[in-house]
Structure 1
Amino acid sequence: MTDMADTPDAAPAPDPVTAPAPDPVTAPTSDPVTAPARDSFESELLGRVLAALLRENAYGLRAAARPERRADGDWLRLDVAGEELALPVAPDGFQCEVGPRRPELETPGGTLTGLRPVLARLRGAAEPEDRAGFDAFVAECDEALEAMRLHGRVRAEVTAALADRYGPEPARDWAGLRGALAYDTLAAFRDHPVYPTGRGRSGLTETELRAYAPEFHPSFALRWLALPREAVRGGRGALPDWWPTPGDLGLPYLDAGHLALPVHPLTARRSLADALRAAGLDGSARLADRPWLDVRPTLSTRTVAVTDDPAVHLKLPLATATLGRRNRRTIKPGTLVDGATGQRLLESVVARQPRFADSVLLADERTHLTAGHELLAALVRRYPAGLEGAQVVPVAALLAPVPGAASGAGPGDEPGAGSASRPGGRLVIDALADRYYQGSLTALLDAYLTLLLDWHTTLFGYGIALESHQQNTSLVLDEDDTGRTRLRLLLKDNDGPRVHSVRLAAVTGGAAADLCGFDDRRILVGADQPVADVFATITVHLCAGALAFGLAEAGRAPLGVLLRQLADRLHEAVDRLEHASGIPGAPASVLRARVLDADRLPIKAMVTAGTLLTKERSGAADINKYYVSGPNYLRTAGR
């Protein structure tokens, strides 16, 4: 094999339509320890960071704070390393009682408004052994801030290019799985509902982001690695007909004994040589010089859609991290097995609950390859047929502005008023409501919540809760043969559920053993609590609650009205579960006690477990399922 470190492949030239000239470098105008925020992006990010630290009670900041009432509103007084600090706060309600009222920190020497000055003062709250994690979080903030500023410069041009390429009216023109990529691009400009630095990608340069990140909607060709066939293990399922042989890639002498594995260009350039050495394959593998197969990135970045076969996506490992420095975007071989097992488990539920056969669609994730290293793997994801005329929209894109729209909406807008009453503030969800529900946002939201909660409460009855967050859940909207609107859910990435094996066995009997062949044994639990935690943090908070709070912030309806709608649909779904046949035990009672009627709900402490603290310090067995608690906004909203 050639020494890849000496012959890196060049990044493709950015699309000139979506790659404006970079801004000139601006020299700092004051001491960075006390410098004020340079722009609205910094202020926005600081507000999100302060909200996350309060929500997760990082370093005990919120628990130890003393409330103070002043003429201008509420404050929290913080004692940080013997220094009195104060933070202006206001009621929040979404996973925390309060949030920052203004992105600033009052100190004995004056008020700080810059991101780094505020974080420098809060660093004293971390114990000495935790300072490295805090510093890593500051670096995340720097990367996220640069990404936000970059997004601010390019968003209008990118979305205009989307309108030119796919059509000016998303809900009409952006059909099928090709159109879904355009919705992914809109979603990539939005922040994660709770993780403050979600737009950052560890270690990627601006040039690399422009070439490979979904917010630029780029097209590029994959690299391919020829591996000895005996070194490659695979899941069930045939590879696509177009899968290249080594000969197609310019390596005909390897056709007999080698198999081609796709490699993301970033991985080929940065980490592939080390991965091959670690796997003992550096002497037998060959990286083809010829890039092959045009793709576009999806919202996850590491998963790409095949341009000429958009029903096939390839999930490829990347040596980067998002949503926390320990949340690496590589692919451990066991997760490929777990994804196929999760799919089989969900298929068994649909077979037992036929009302979901036409309303819940599952991506096929049974085909995968791995050579025993987390950077030498590929998942071949196939989407169901028949989506060509449908709108396939990830939940993460629903609150994104459509091309040509501003990011906000008028405070007087009413749900169902139609997009004409929302000049300059039209969102994707507005466009979908206009097309499919006669402009009634209430009707669209009701249909979505009814199906979402019916499906997930039914799964809970089987002892299953999915990590089907906003990126992994899509709405599929079209019209049936009679012309009536049809809404379905499309799910992918089912490799990280929680499964109460005793409850599953009680429903499925002897079939349970075949449905529980997960590689990650943390997936299988022996109680309802871990399953209810995932139900609350993913289905309720991210797929439903975040949408309600976001629509209220956009002025679509009063928050109380939206939360009452959510709580009522959840009550109905739990009632339906209580009377379901073939589901023994009392799962409905568990959901009432642990979700609907609970004083507090679990919330993910993603910053704490993902970056601030080591696993040894946090005690987190799984950084994606590490919780603190927050207020239950459902308790008084419903019946």
Structure 2
Amino acid sequence: MNPNPAPDVPEADGRPPAHHRGQDGMCGPLAVETATVPRQQPGDLGEQHTPMADASFGDRAAELLDHPDPQRAADAAAVENLLRCWVRENNLAKPDGDTLRIPLHASGTALLVPVRYWSVTGWHRFGLPALERGPSEAPGVDAVTVAALLGREAGHSEGADLVGRVADSVRRTTDFITDRRAHPAPVPEADLFLTAEQSLVLGHPLHPTPKSREGLSEAEARLYSPELYGSFPVHWMAVDRSVLATDSAWTEQGRTLPAEQLTARLCGGLRLPDHTVALPLHPWQARELTHRPAVAALLDAGLLHDLGPYGEPWHPTSSVRTVHRPGAPAMLKLSLGVRITNSRRENLRKELHRGVEVHRLLRTGLGEQWQAAHPGFDIVRDPAWLAVDAADGEAVPGLDVMLRHNPFGFGDDAVCIAGLTSPRPWPDHPGMHSRIADVVERLAARTGRPTGAVAAEWFLRYLDHVVRPVLWLDATAGIALEAHQQNTLVILDPKGWPVGGRYRDNQGYYFRESHRAQLERRLPGIGTASDTFVSDDVTDERFAYYLGINNVLGLIGAFGAQRLADERVLIAAFRQFLTANAGLGSPLPAQLLDAPTLRSKANLLTRLRGLDELVGPVDTQSVYVTITNPLRP
């Protein structure tokens, strides 16, 4: 994988080309915007001062994420997540002072929350809250108590479930922080892609239970958690061809390879019974499946054979269930019935069809057209799958695998944005530190430029190399990608600048109804098995959230909360980018620029209502709320 460099590459000293620089070394338009931002005095709420020289994560002296007790650090992270969710989902405004008061009418009290940083985009930093009129000597309210209070205030029946999941998430995050403090550097044999996939220690900053994994024991968590550098051999089943369901568009040297040929290659010398094919499963899933009647019936009938674990170890990626083995031609997207964040992660048959369908669609000429316009960006393809049908022809849930291209060599620095921005214990650095902070501070040191200027240029290059290609696909083909931060990879050059990107997820495609005829002409029958066409109204809402709010505004918020850049400067740059691309054909730029409000996914309310985001129609799988558009002047 060798993505082409950006048209405007740095000069020898690492600065942007001269025709893009302002007098302070920042890109010209941004230099103008910087001059218009009023300076705030130190101590002002939400101050956007110049970051500290070490680009550290906030104020080290009061950083609860660095508490010597890992449990206290994990609890503080969970409290901040819950409070960020509540602020966003209730569209709360910035308080007048340095304390946010959250009324709790159902409990007859209020939370008094110290505000350490108020983010325009929602990446607020909070201290531990106190109960109003509570004892002054009482410690701050912990995450489980905050979850119980907010669940009661929201008035939903799943409040107890939320409390349990918050406790589970805190417990697991405690383990991750403990382990990372002892072993902050990756294992020596890890490639760059795997290192990045194992880096998301704290998880989604706007999710109430980002590390909840109900069903995993402590011993299993050690093997199956990317945050703990886990690895394991996959579990193999042999499937009789009479109950095999499969499809493949995987090609090598112009020849389509059946999916079973690919799994045979991956299982090496494993001996199979006659008339069977090899099916890899997650070990946890394999154990759980034997208790399901449909699987037990197949085993009893000799149509399914349990061969056990075999082969070299695979490594869980940031999604936990997709596994990677350096040098293998494929990654495996496995079903895993563990409830992770909001869903049990088992492949749906329509999603298996969707991955192959998108690969075939791109091979109709659309992919070549896209690559000609944006040679540094592509979709990580999911071109083959295997699954099992029962004797009556019905799909057997959870007994399947998606075979995903592995386009990343040992030295390819492909990083999901969530992992890039997430703070974690860092080698030879005090406390929590994110990869993006490390990248920016190294670039600033190398070039002698201000941290804010480097961060702004990095952000502009990201928009060019990652966001613009996603807009192009929507404009040209009517396909919106669910490009949230964990699904979006940025390709970094050796210095740390963005030079390309990748999207990955066979679930996250929205084919616009308005483009149905056009897509049907490209690939007859498209959407029939994959159920991928969505109304334009729903597509607009989801695309604005995933690419606009979660991805880009989330990145801006990370830059701001980690004191790497002024959020208002980056918002001005994003507005300029959207204005320049408003004529591309995607409705998203105009929507983000002009709408006074936006619809945002509400992870806390989704959890409180007990929704599984993989179940039901796409427009009702999650709760969405209305928030003020931070891009409006």
1:560-639 aligned within 5 A: 560-575=568-583, 577=584, 587-588=585-586, 590-613=587-610, 622=619, 625-636=622-633
**In the comparison of the two structures, how many residue pairs are matched?**
537
Write the distance in 1 (CA, Å) between the matches of 2:185 and 2:386.
Answer: 38
Counterpart pick for 1:190 among 195, 202, 205: 202
The answer as to whether partners of 1:604 and 1:627 remain within 8 angstroms in 2 is yes
The alpha-carbon distance between structure 1 residues 68 and 478, as it changes in their structure 2 partners (threshold 3 A), is closer
Shift of residue 511, structure 1, vs aligned partner: 2.5
Query: Contact (CA 8 Å) 2:459, 2:570: kept in 1 or not?
Result: no
> Structure 1's 430 and 624: CA in aligned 2 closer, same or farther, altered over 3 A?
farther
Q: Corresponding residue for 2:81?
A: 48
Is 1:316 paired with 2:334? Answer: yes
Distance 1:240 1:277 in 2: 20
- Give 1:370 shift: 0.7
Distance in 2 (alpha carbons) for counterparts of 1:144 and 1:214: 15
How far off its partner does 1:244 sit? 3.6
Residues 170-181 of structure 1 aligned to structure 2 (within 5 Å)? 178-181=191-194
Q: CA RMSD in A?
A: 3.8
The answer to whether the 8 Å contact 1:453/1:570 transfers is no
Question: What's the CA shift for 1:393?
Answer: 1.7
**1: distance between equivalents of 2:300 and 2:71?**
48
Aligned match of 2:404: 381
Match of 1:114 in 2: 142
Partner amino acid, structure 2, of 1:180: F
Cα shift readout 1:439-478 (whole Å, capped 9, x = no counterpart) = 9443332111112232122222232211122222212234
State the AA in 1 paired with 2:466.
Answer: L
**CA shift in 2, pair 1:287/1:513, >3 Å:** same
CA distance in 2 between partners of 1:157 and 1:68 (Å): 39
Amino acid of the residue matched to residue 46 of structure 1? V
- Percent of pairs with identical residues: 23
Greater relative contact order, per chain length (Cα 8 Å cut-off, separation 6+): 2
What does 1:119-518 align with in structure 2 at a 5 Å threshold? 119-125=147-153, 127=155, 130-131=156-157, 133-162=158-187, 164-165=188-189, 178-186=191-199, 188-236=200-248, 237=250, 238=257, 239=259, 243-244=263-264, 252=272, 254=273, 256-274=274-292, 276-277=294-295, 280-284=298-302, 285-289=304-308, 291-307=310-326, 309-324=327-342, 327-347=343-363, 348-356=365-373, 358-371=375-388, 372-384=395-407, 387-400=409-422, 402-407=426-431, 426-428=437-439, 430=441, 440-461=454-475, 462-478=477-493, 487-505=499-517, 510-511=521-522, 513-518=524-529
Asked whether the equivalents of residues 71 and 170 of structure 2 are also in contact (C-alpha less than 8 Å), the reply is no
* Aligned position for 2:62: none
CA-to-aligned-CA distance 1:263-321 (integer Å, 9 cap, x gap): 111112233342643774543211114523421111111111134x3342011111201
Distance 1:226 1:436 in 2: 57
State how far apart, in whole Å, the 1-side matches of 2:496 and 2:124 are. 43
SS of 1:221's partner is coil
- Distance, in Å, in 1 between the alignment partners of 2:386 and 2:474 is 31
CA contact (8 A) 1:395 1:475 kept: yes
Letter in 2 for 1:378: V
State the alpha-carbon separation in 2 of the partners of residues 72 and 486 from structure 1.
36
Q: Find the aligned partners of 2:75 and 2:525 in 1 and give their Cα distance.
A: 51
- What's the CA shift string for 1:364-416, capped at 9, x where partnerless? 3111001122210011111337x45432222222224553334557xxxxxxx
| Other structure's SS at 1:381 match | strand
User: Kindly tell me: are residues 247 and 342 of structure 1, through their superposed partners in 2, closer, same or farther at Cα, counting changes over 3 Å?
Assistant: closer
Deviation (angstroms), 1:142: 0.5
Distance 1:54 1:472 in 2: 25
Q: 1:486 to 1:207 in 2, by over 3 A?
A: closer
Contact 2:352–2:506 (CA under 8 A) maintained in structure 1: no
Q: 1:84 to 1:219 in 2, by over 3 A?
A: closer
Q: Which structure 1 residue ranges, 5 or more long, are not aligned?
A: 1-36, 167-177, 410-421, 578-586
Which amino acid in structure 2 is aligned with residue 516 of structure 1? G
Contact 2:458 2:497 in 1 (8 A): no
Q: 1:319 to 1:428 in 2, by over 3 A?
A: farther
Residue 428 of structure 1 deviates from its aligned partner by 4.7
CA contact (8 A) 1:363 1:384 kept: yes
Contact 1:456 1:535 in 2 (8 A): no
CA contact (8 A) 1:219 1:296 kept: yes
* 1:390 maps to amino acid: D
Deviation at 1:261, TM superposition (A): 0.6
In the alignment, is the contact (CA less than 8 A) between 1:249 and 1:290 conserved in 2? Answer: no
TM-score (normalised: structure 2)? 0.75
| Shift in Å, 1:56 | 2.4
**Mapped partners of 1:122, 1:311: distance in 2:** 46
Measured in 2, the distance between the counterparts of 1:268 and 1:388 equals: 30
Matched, 1:104 2:129: yes
Residues 370 and 473, structure 2, Cα contact 8 Å, conserved in 1: no
Secondary structure in 1 matching 2:263: coil
CA 1:364–1:105 in structure 2 vs 1: closer, same or farther (change >3 Å)?
same
State whether residues 246 and 259 of structure 1, in contact with CA within 8 Å, keep that contact through their aligned partners in structure 2. Answer: no
Residue identity opposite 1:427 in structure 2: D
Q: TM-score, normalised by structure 1?
A: 0.74
Aligned to 2:535: 526
Matches of 1:355 and 1:248, distance apart in 2: 38
1:80 match: secondary structure: helix
**CA contact 1:398–1:428 (8 Å) conserved in 2:** no
Matched residues in 2 for 1:389 and 1:453: separation?
A: 24
- The alpha-carbon deviation at position 329 of structure 1 amounts to 0.9
Q: Distance in 1 between matches of 2:132 and 2:146?
A: 9
In structure 2, the CA distance between the partners of 1:275 and 1:408, relative to structure 1 (3 Å rule), is same
Q: Distance in 2 between the 1:487 and 1:382 partners? A: 20
Q: Match of 2:292, SS?
A: helix
Unaligned runs of 5+ in 2: 1-69, 251-256, 389-394
The amino acid of 2:535's aligned partner reads G
Structure 1 counterpart of 2:66:
none
> Residue 542 of structure 1 aligns with which residue?
550
Matching residue of 1:580 = none
Whole-Å Cα distance in 1 between the matches of residues 267 and 443 of structure 2?
46
Change (3 A) 1:443 1:54: closer
Question: Quick one: structure 1 residues 477 and 609, their matched pair in 2 at CA, closer, same or farther if it must change by over 3 Å?
Answer: same
Give, as a single letter, the amino acid of the residue that structure 1 aligns with 2:103.
R
Are the equivalent residues in 1 in contact too, given 2:380–2:407 (CA < 8 A)?
A: yes
